[in-house]
Homo-oligomer: A and B are copies of this chain.
Amino acid sequence: MLFFTQCFGAVLDLIHLRFQHYKAKRVFSAAGQLVCVVNPTHSLKYAPTRCAAAQASTEQGILSPCHHHEAVHDPQLVPCTCPLFSCPWEGHLEVVVSHLRQTHRINILQGAEIVFLATDMHLPAPTDWIIMHSCLGHQFLLVLRKQEKYEGHPQFFATMMLIGTPTQADNFTYRLELNRNQRRLKWEATPRSILECVDSVISDGDCLVLNTSLAQLFSDNGSLAIGIAITTSKVHSPEAEM
C-alpha cells in the first residue's frame, strides 16, 4: 500500500513539473525564446579563502591555481569555480565546462536569448539556482542566489560569469530582465570572469539585487522568470547612450 502511495506521489510530482514547464513555455513562446526550468540547490559550503586567492591572482592578470593550502602548482590550472561546492578539483580553463556538467550536473543551454525559470523561490537561504549558457562561441555561468546579507532579510542576487579570462569577459555585455505585473527591471553589465569569485561579486552587490517583496512581485506561483541576453560589447559607450 505504501509503495502505491509513493508511486502516486511521484506521478503527481512529474505532472506538476511538466505543467510548470509547459506553462513557462506558453508564457514566453511568443518571443520564441528557450525556457529552462531551473530547480534550486542548497549551497553545501562556501570557501571564501579559496575565492580571495583566486581573485588576487586574477587581478595580477595570470591564471594561477587558487588552493590556499598549496604553495607550488601549475599556473595553467584553475580550481573548480562552481559556487555550490567546495570542490577540490582543479584543471585547465578548457575543461571547466565538462567538469561542471559531469560532476555538478549543471545543464548547458544554447542560444543568444533564453529564459531562466527558477522554481521554489520560497526555499530558505542560502539557496542557489545555476545554469550554463552557451552563446557567441563562449560558455557563461548564470548564478541566482538567495542569501541573508542582513539577518532575517533574505535577498536575491543574480550575476553572469564568463567561463574564460577577464580579458575575454570584457568583450561581452549580459542583460538580465524581469517583466511582470506591469513592472520591468533590467540589469546590464560586463560579465565577470569565472576566475574571479562569484561570492565576492555578490558580497560587493555588483549584480542584480532583489528584495524579497520585489522578487514576489516578479514571480508567478513561486517561480521567477529571468530573461537573459548576451551581446558583444565592443561598441558599448554607456555615458553617451543615456
By a beta-carbon cutoff of 8 Å, the part of chain A in contact with chain B is 27-28, 30-31, 33, 115, 149-150, 153, 173, 177, 179-190, 204-206, 209, 211-214, 217, 225, 227, 233, 236, 238-242
Contact = CB atoms under 8 A, between A and B. Distances in A.
A238 B186 contact: no
A211 B180 CA distance: 22
Contact of A242 (B188, B217, B225, B242): B225
Contact of A209 (B209, B227, B241): B209
Which of A115, A149, A214 has the largest number of chain B CB atoms within 10 A?
A: A214
Contacts of A239: 27, 30, 179-180
A185 B187 contact: yes
Contact of A179 (B150, B173, B180, B242): B242
A182 B242 CA distance: 12
A97 to B, nearest CB: 25
A213 B217 contact: no
Nearest to A113: B242
A28 B242 contact: yes
A180 B242 CA distance: 9
15 contacts: A27-B242, A150-B153, A173-B182, A182-B233, A184-B187, A184-B189, A184-B238, A185-B185, A185-B186, A185-B188, A204-B213, A205-B211, A206-B214, A209-B214, A227-B242
Nearest to A227: B242
Nearest to A179: B242
Given A182-B190, A205-B213, 11 more contacts: A27-B242, A179-B238, A181-B238, A182-B189, A183-B189, A183-B190, A184-B186, A185-B186, A185-B187, A185-B188, A206-B213
